[in-house]
Structures are given as C-alpha cells and as structure tokens.
A and B are shown apart, each in its own frame.
Chain A
Amino acid sequence: MTPLVEIRDLLVRRGEHPALQLEHLAIQTGEVLAVVGPNGAGKSTLLLTLARLLKAERGEIRFNGQQASAESDTVYRRRIALVMQDPLLFDASVFDNVGSGLRFRRISRDEIWRKVPLWLERFGVGHLAKRRAGQLSGGEAQRVSLARALVLEPQLLLLDEPFSALDPPTRSHLLDDLGALLKETATTTVFVTHDLPEAAQLAGRMAVIIGNRLRQVGDPEVVFASPTDEEVSGFLIHKARPGDR
C-alpha cells in the first residue's frame, strides 16, 4: 500500500548547521506516529518541513505517491493542519477561530455553520462558541485549537507538543478525547512530544530522533523493549524518570 507520506534522503538546515537528516520515513494512511527525542533533536523541524514552513535543502517528500514539491505551498498546506504548542488563537470568537481555516478554503457559510458547532461539541467546548478567545483557560484554548485543525478534516494532522503547557488533569482528559477522535476519524497524525507515556497512549508507532537523525521507528512497546542503540536506550531511560517528564 502506498504510504500517505514518504520522505527520502531529507536534509534540512537551520542556519549553518543541519537540523534534520532523514534517510527514509513512511507514514501510513490513518496511523498516528509519535515523534520523540531530546530538545533540539529535530522533531519540530520535521513537523515544520512536513508543513512546508521550512525548506529542505535536499531530498523529497511524496504525498499520496506524488512529488509534493510539484504543487504550490498553499495547495499543499490545504491538505494538512498544524497545531502548535501554544494554541495561538486569533483575537476573535471561538466560533470564528474554528471556522478560520474553512474560510481560507472558501468553504460556504452554510457548511461552516454545519461543521464548526459539530467540532466544538466533539471537543466539549460547544458552550464557548460565542466567547472571545482571550477569555478561555489554557485547556479550553487548546481544545479550540485542536477543533480548529480537525474541522478541516485534514489528510495529515501535525501536532507540535500540544499538551505540554497544560496541567496534568487537563492534559489527561484532552489526551483521552483526542485519542478517541483520531481513532474515530482515522486521521493520519504526526505527533511531536516529550512525554513517552503520552506517545505510547496516542500513537501506533513511535519515531525516535536524536542528534538530528532518525534512530528508530516502530511499535512503542518494541521501541521501549529493544532500543536500537545505547543513545536511544539512554534517552528512553532518562525520559522515563518521573522528574524528567
């Protein structure tokens, strides 16, 4: 089966230094891939490159078997949706925030009015539709941010540590809800996180990036049980310590 995304021989520089070197990575349709690794390893670089917000110096990214660089950035990006660590909501109502991506795609008003309330309800924030974004709590804002991305029904959802700024109970509830929704909608997702239990809970596969290179990809249980080398093992042990999460 053709993977939804296939990356080959990728080199991305940020400044003078290579920020990510990746020989091969395939992301299958419908899977949730967690990307873990230490700070500065290149996890977010992978996400930004997949969103075409960073240009690769070398290599190719295939989307549905097609060379992604053949189409314009905007056309490409309208197949994906990005959620960042901070919700970065716009200075508007919750409803307008969630409808923003649909408006960019010139979706009809009727369709926006059908989809937005549905996704607000799915994330349990339907009652906040008229509230200004600035009046939301951190957890509510991140729910709105996720609804704003998923309402687009993206072929590829990119999540850059969306739970890291939340307190543990809020994080746990949101993780449960998001996990259920991703399963229900079978949305292909790349999920960057520092938190290994979070990765294991949400993802079917886990990719470990250390020193700007992909070191291991596989089922989270297999990665935990048989790390490919000492560095991967050291990272997993280090992250498993309670104080290091």
Chain B
Amino acid sequence: MILDAEVFQITLLSLQISALATGLSLIIGLPFGTLMALGKFPGRSFLLSMVNTGMGLPPVVVGLFVAMMLWRSGPLGDMRLIYTPTAIILAQVVISFPVVTGLTAAALQSLDPRLRLQLYGLGASRMQMIGMLWKEARLPLLAALMAGFGSVISEVGASMMVGGNIRYQTRVLTTAIVLETGKGNFDIAIALGLLLLTITFLVNWALTWIQQRGARK
C-alpha cells in the first residue's frame, strides 16, 4: 500500500528527474539543433534524418541500450549508476534530446532565411545573430521544450529498465502505476495516473502561458 508521504516523494522524484532530463536536453539540443538548422557541413542531412528518427525512439529500446551501457559488465559499469535516479535521467535525456534538437532545427528553419543576412547587415556577430534567431523562434522553441518534457514525464519503459522501480529510490509515477496495476490495485493506479496527468497539465499550462504571453506582446 502506498502512503501519502510516499506518493509525495514519488511525485517529487518524477518531477525532479524529468525536469533535469529536459533541462539537460535543452542545453545540448538547442545548440545542436541550431547547428543542424544553420550549419553547412557534409553529412548534415544524414544527421538530421537520424535526429528526426530519434524523435520516435521507443523508450524500451532506449532503456535496453542505456541498461547495457550501465550494467556492471558494461562499458560504464564501473560508474555504478544502474538502478539509480542518475540512470533514469541519462535514459530520459536520450529520449528527449532528439525531440528538442529536431524541433529546434525545424523552428529555426521555418524562419525567413533572409533574416540572417539582415542581422549580419546590421552588424550582428555570429552569436548575436543566433541569439536573435532564438528570440524570433521563441514560441516554437517553447513548444520544443514542452514536447521534450512530455516525452519523458510519461515514459515508463526506460525508467523501469534502468531505474529498477526501487521503493524510495527510483520509483517514479509511471513505474508506480505499472506496479500497482500488476498487483491489482486499480484504484491506486488510477489515482496515480490522474496525479501524473495533473502534473503534466500544470507544467504544460505554465509553459503555454509563457508562450502565449510572448505571442501577445
């Protein structure tokens, strides 16, 4: 039976893990997506296709891959990360990074290509030009952030495989729902599901509010 304090701990851990994973994906995905959108280098189209394919990566496949990497006999086994929150964060970054990268590239490519010339023609440096393009594309970039968060807060396969669903350590909302359903505790599973939906809604509502506030300005 899950206690109220435990539900609170699971909820908090879910939010912490998914927020951190989304943040890391943004830190890596924003520059990488920008490079995909603005760069001219051999293999760019191939890389972009890989990223776009990665947007649909099944979480269980990611879980399998990360678990093999972190397994004691695996290449990163010495780091002793398997069945820890860090392992779940790593797996979630692998899931959300292509989402953030692909949507960032699409957002920047949807801008008028002459905008770059105009920015340079007003004396912008390369970094200033990129900063201005991010600002111009801020609404679709926020959508990329929302999609990235949505892809990890709701996934269960990877968290289960690399986190192990250990009580008080790596149990998050989605894995707890699977566990309670398996035990036949449908009422608890439904309550946890509603809690997950509410949290997802609140986070997206806050981001949408910021996005639409930007659109009205």
Q: Would you call A113 an interface residue if the criterion is a C-beta within 8 Å of the partner chain's C-beta atoms?
A: no
Proximity bits, B98-136, A CB within 8 Å = 1, else 0? 000000000000001011011011111110100010011
Q: Is the CB of A132 within 8 A of B217?
A: yes
A80 within 8 A of B: yes
Contact B123 A48 (CB under 8 A): no
Interfacial chain B residues near A82, Cβ < 8 Å: 117-118, 120-122
Are A84 and B114 in contact (CB-based, < 8 A)? yes
Interface residues on B, range: 10 to 19
Whether B124 contacts A104 by the Cβ 8 Å rule is: yes
Chain B minimum-CB-distance residue to A80: B121
How far, in Å, is A203 (CB) from chain B's closest CB? Answer: 20
- The answer for the CA separation of A92 and B126 in the assembled complex, in Å, is 20
Provide the main secondary structure of the chain B interface: helix
Tell me, yes or no, whether A211 is within 8 Å of chain B by CB.
Answer: no
Chain A: interface secondary structure?
Answer: mixed
Contact present for A84 and B125 (CB under 8 Å) = no
B118 and A77 within 8 A (CB)? no
CB-contact partner of B136 in A48, A77, A90, under 8 A? A90
Contact A152 B132 (CB under 8 A): no
A53 and B123 within 8 A (CB): no
User: Who on chain B is nearest to A149 by CB?
Assistant: B122
**Hey, which bits of chain B sit against chain A, CB under 8 A?**
112, 114-115, 117-118, 120-126, 128, 132, 135-136, 217
Contacts from A to B (Cβ < 8 Å): 48, 51, 53, 73-74, 77-78, 80-84, 86, 88, 90-92, 100-101, 104-105, 132, 148-149, 152, 158
Other than the known A74-B125, A82-B121, what 9 A-B pairs have Cβ atoms closer than 8 Å? A51-B117, A74-B123, A77-B123, A84-B118, A88-B118, A92-B135, A104-B124, A104-B128, A152-B123
